[in-house]
Amino acid sequence: MTDTEDKELISEYMGWFAHPQGFWYDPPVYFTDSFRGKVKFDLNDAGLCVKEMEKREDWEHDFMDFVAGSQRWNYHQCIAWLFNADNFFESMAKWIKEKKK
**pLDDT tens, the chain, 101 aa long:** 557 889 889 988 998 877 766 665 566 667 666 556 678 899 989 999 999 999 999 998 899 999 999 888 888 889 889 999 999 999 999 999 999 88
- Domain definitions of the chain by residue range: 4-100
Query: For residues 1 and 7, what is the distance between their CA atoms, to the nearest angstrom?
Result: 8
Instruction: Give 92's contacts (C-beta < 8 A, 6+ positions apart).
Output: 10, 13, 49, 63
Q: What is the pLDDT of residue 4?
A: 82
Rounded distance, CA 62 to CA 16, Å? 21
Strand partners of residue 18: 30
- pTM given for the model: 0.82
**pLDDT score for 44:** 87
